[in-house]
Amino acid sequence: MHSQYLPYTPRGYIILTMHTTDTKKLVTRLKKIEGQVRGLQKMVFDDAYCIDVITQSSAIRHALSSFEDKLLEQHLSSCVVNQIKEGKEEQAIGEVLAVLRQAKKG
């Protein structure tokens, strides 16, 4: 049951106060990754040494993986907990399993 005093996302998840701080941290991570990608583009355009390009690409992949890990951690500790409290265990489990399956494909 949704209270009129709690902010909800379009999917019905409660937006926690700590979420704002975490969101800012995630956006900061994404901006850093964006800068890394721009740097990678410049390296390719400038015909940089292949090994250096691969090294930078690997660093970006690691940064994205770290971002996803943090986002999943936040999802599990807030959205999933709230879904379970609201009796939506199957939905919570289904979403997490779908994300894990998708990660295995990548």
The 10s digit of each residue's pLDDT in 72-88 is: 898 888 899 999 999 99
> Which CATH number fits the domain 17-105, given the four candidates 1.20.58.1000, 3.60.20.10, 1.10.1200.10, 1.20.120.1200?
1.20.58.1000
pTM for the complete prediction?
Answer: 0.72
Q: Is the dihedral of CA 57, 58, 61, 67 positive or negative?
A: negative
Q: What are the domain boundaries of the chain?
A: 17-105
Determine how many CB atoms are found less than 10 A away from the CB of residue 32. Answer: 13
Q: What band does 11 get if pLDDT is binned at 50, 70 and 90? A: low
Which of 13-22, 46-55, 79-88 has the lowest average pLDDT?
Answer: 13-22
Q: Is the pLDDT of residue 103 over 70?
A: yes
Lookup result for tokens 């999943």: 72
